[in-house]
Every structure is written in C-alpha cells, then in structure tokens.
Structure 1
C-alpha cells in the first residue's frame, strides 16, 4: 500500500507539468510550462510499469493596469482582465522501470476550457486599425495537445528527473479573437527536478528548473521569447492519508519577443502558495486528490493573479512484480 500511495501522490505532479496555461509573458500572456506544477515530489517517478490518468481542474484569475499594453492574438490591448477555467486530461504510460538504469515515462495532455477576457481598450487590431474600448470575449475551446517524455532515477531517498515536453499547434485557434487556449505555436520545454523524499519521516523537499524555447505564431507573425522557470516546494505527510506543504516559483524571460509593436516585452514573475494532498482507495485502487493555490506577488509585462488547482490521479493499469 505504501508503494501505491507514493506512486499516486506524485502522479498528479508528473502530469501537471505538461499543461499549457495563461499567465506568463510572451504573446497573449501564455506559456507552455504551467508555473506551480513543480511542487512536492516533482522528481519522483511511478515505481511500477503501467498507465496512469490525471485530471486537473485549473482556475486562473489575473489582471493588469490600463496603463499596461499587451499583445493578444494579433491585437494590442490595454486594461487586461483574464480568467481561465479549464480541464486538463493526461494519460501517462510507464513502459519500463529499468531503462538506462531508470524509469521511462511518456504522456499526452489535452486541454479543454473556457478562457474569459475583458479589456478596457483595443488599441490596434490585426489589420492595424483601432477597434475601440471595453471588449469582452469568451469561448469553450480545445487547446493544443502537449506531448512529454521523462526519465527518472532514484536512490533510497534522492530522486532525479529529466523531462521534455512539446506543444503541438493542433488545437482550436480563434483567429483575431481575444480568448484562446491554443498557443498556435510550437514550443519545447526541458526541465530537471530533484526531490529528497523520505516516506518514513513524511518529509519531501523538491526543486525544479527548466528552459522553454518558444516558436512563432505563423498567423500573427509574433515570435515569443524564451523563458527560464525555477520552483521549490516543502511538504509534510501529517498522516498516511493527508499531507500539507508550501511552494514558490520564479519566471524570467531571457530573450526578446519579436514581430510585435511593443518591442522586447520581456516578462518576469514571482509567486508563493500552498498545497495539500489526500489519499483514498476507490474500488480497491489507490487514488489521490491534490489542491493548490498560488498567489503572484509581482509581475512584469504579464497579468498578476491567483491560480487554483484541483487534481485527481488514479492508475488505469499496473504491472506489479509478483502478481
């Protein structure tokens, strides 16, 4: 049972790292890497072969002053207020726990959600003309699928993970509109995570850092700059079922945006938050619910806001040695 709880407790973390979401610098205030996903157990891989499912309900609410301008799907807007309510479904397959001395995992995430955008003014539209003030846009739409490959190694308490994910621009992109889930560009992220995970004491201390390489949007001609992200988390298991922790993240855009009217438009952000997990058994199968809240303390060239998460993880199939 301890084996299953460790696996499911970290399964949601593994899946959440592959989800695109609103809230960073770059075009449309959106980035491939979901800040806050490198939480407790960030480097811990599933200990057995199998197929795992993760569903994440994600809510983000952020805004920016009317004095700030943002590129948004070919528009230049001011006074941005953005909300996203989305569901991200992830299938993660672990074909081997002895590949190059470690565990191999591959997965795919598909987002479905309702971005809601209000702006005080649209300064220029895709054709260059002014479109006026006070615009609202919302839609139920499908985002880009995101693929991932991970490799992890572990000792008695130490875990190390290398991961790479790619955004494939096949989602529903609403041309010239304000509200989108699709990035409509290729993007690749490479990350490394380290966890000190001690089941006996219940403590987990994790850190994760990565680099996101962004491509260009072939419809708007906007080439988003690259980003560096760093995260850390500490969590304590207070009982076999319940754990509580704190985490933080920092983002810095390291190369300029190109092709837009606002120049380099480099972004930066810092946030702190809390997380909790609850382990249950459903029809004889271990599962975990995890909640998070992250509050941005400062932001440059991006909305500043709060994100809420509810994550559910469960194995679909497991190849358990000895059975």
Structure 2
C-alpha cells in the first residue's frame, strides 16, 4: 500500500458540501424537512480510502468534480421535481509534524463554484431555474490523527460558512445562508499486509438560523461506511455507503414537524500516482441513493484528484 492512501481525507470528504446548497430556496410544497429539503451534510462524501490514516507531513492540494442528479422525495411532493448540479472544488490540507495529545496535527480549507439547475413541471409548481456562482466555504482549523497498530482514529471540527451569494427571492442559491458546525470522528481498521480495510465515519451537525428566512434546520446525524480492498501499492477498490438522519425538528417561520433521512451505496476506486513519480491520488465514486424521505434522492458521481507538494 502507498503511504499516500490516506491523503485527501478532510478536504475530499467535505468537498461537496456546497453542491447541495444550490437548492437552498426550493419553491416546492412544504413537505421536505430541512430548509429546501437539503442540508450542508454531503451525502456519502465523507467516505475515502484509509480515511483516518494521517498522510505524511506536507501540503496537499485538491481538485474535485462532483455531479448530483436527483428528484425530490416526500409524501406530498410530485416526483417530477428534479435537480442537477455540478460542483467544482479547490482546496488544501496541511499536515504538520506537531503532536497534540499524541496525535498528528493538520488543518485545511476549501472553496467552491456551483453550476446547478432545478425543474418542476406539474402546475402550480412549474419552475425552471438555474444558478452558476461561487458557493460556501469550509474551514477545519484543527484535525487530529492517532494510530494504534492496525487501528487509526481521526477527529475534527468543520465550520461551513455562508460565503456564497444568497437571494431570498431566488428559486436557486449558491449558499444556504447559515453556519453549520460538523463534529466528526473517523475510525479505520487497516491490515496493510492483507490489504483489507473497514472504516466508519460518524458525525453530528448543528446549524444556525438562516437570518433571511428566520428558518433553522434541525440537527443531523450522519454515518459513512467503507469496505476497501487494496489490490496493489497503487490500486484499490471499495464499497462505500452512508446513512443520514435528522434527529431534531426544524424551527422558525413555516417549519413543520417532519424530519429528513436518506441512504446510499455504491462502488469506489483509488489510483495512487506514485508510480508516475507524482505523489498523489485519484479517487472515483458512484453512489446510488436507495432511500430518501423529505429530501432529494438520486445519483452521485465524483472524481477527486490530490497532489502533495
């Protein structure tokens, strides 16, 4: 296995956060939990290869293309409300040689650009809208990595900030217009001799109020799971999935006592580029959402490239 199998952990996993904000002001029936039926949690994107393993010291620069094609799912929502979006991400993570509580210390941040479209055909909800603009950004000021033999542990606090453009009257926005605080723990069991890995990434997300709409999305639990098999030093395949559940009600203007949930599963592939003399990796992933309640349900395709400087 390559020493770079774990790079891209924090930035890559959170890279698509701003993609979902493209639908923040969705003008459809009030049958979706979370504002617009979406949140700052990125479905399935916390999954990676060797997710809790500290990369070697250095600066890592990331680029991600993330595609989402979906329909809104809810008890009173027609299934012809569809959405599509592309996210383009640029970010970095710096891994230091400092230790804190016995852990390797790192930090990182990213910014995004969104290109999204929303279409709702059935009257009286007919709508065809699009947006192409900068999105919100995320900062992880402290990332910690521990190792205990074959067990690896990582923890971090991400702050997603409403830096994108927002218009309350717009059908689509490139910002959700509120802060989210995501507390995440990553666990990896990795047998480097046999080339097998099992990882879990649970997290809790807490949201502030959207001051433009006086609406506050409820708190959320998310869990990403990965089963990976390393076939060589430079190549691996995996089965990735996620489960998401909102565990407190929304509040504020127009809030209803309903909550959202979803789940997905699909294949992933890793190629380390070390054999080319380039210290980096490329990860591709397809996740099919098998269930969704009061939020969008569809397919996610993503490609992430990372390089070490």
Give the conservation status (yes or no) of the 8 Å contact 2:71–2:80.
Answer: yes
3-state DSSP class of the match of 1:16? helix
**Residue 137 of structure 1 pairs with residue 110 of structure 2:** no
3-state DSSP class of the match of 2:36? helix
Partner residue of 1:295?
288
Partner residue of 1:126?
none
Offset of 1:266 from its aligned partner?
0.7
The 2-side partners of 1:244 and 1:151 are apart by: 26
Q: Cα distance 1:162–1:66, how it changes in 2: closer, same or farther (>3 A)?
A: closer
From 184, 191, 194, the counterpart of 2:177: 184
Write out aligned runs for 1:83-232 (5 A). Answer: 83-120=84-121, 132-148=124-140, 149-232=142-225
Higher-strand-fraction structure: 1
Offset of 1:237 from its aligned partner?
1.0
Partner residue of 1:53?
61
Offset of 1:97 from its aligned partner?
4.4
Write out aligned runs for 1:233-312 (5 A). Answer: 233-261=226-254, 263-281=256-274, 284-312=277-305
The 2-side partners of 1:190 and 1:104 are apart by: 16
Partner residue of 1:129?
none
Give the conservation status (yes or no) of the 8 Å contact 2:283–2:304.
Answer: yes
Cα RMSD for the two superposed structures: 2.2
From 6, 13, 18, the counterpart of 1:10: 6
Gaps of 5+ in 1: 70-76, 123-131, 317-323
| TM-score (ref. length: structure 2) | 0.88
Give the conservation status (yes or no) of the 8 Å contact 2:33–2:256.
Answer: no
Q: Cα distance 1:173–1:206, how it changes in 2: closer, same or farther (>3 A)?
A: same
Gaps of 5+ in 2: 22-31
Offset of 1:35 from its aligned partner?
2.2
Q: Write the deviation string for residues 282-301 of structure 1: whole angstroms up to 9, x where unpaired.
A: 87332211001111111110
- The count of residues paired between Structure 1 and Structure 2 equals 295
Offset of 1:84 from its aligned partner?
1.1
Give the conservation status (yes or no) of the 8 Å contact 1:78–1:120.
Answer: no
| TM-score (ref. length: structure 1) | 0.85
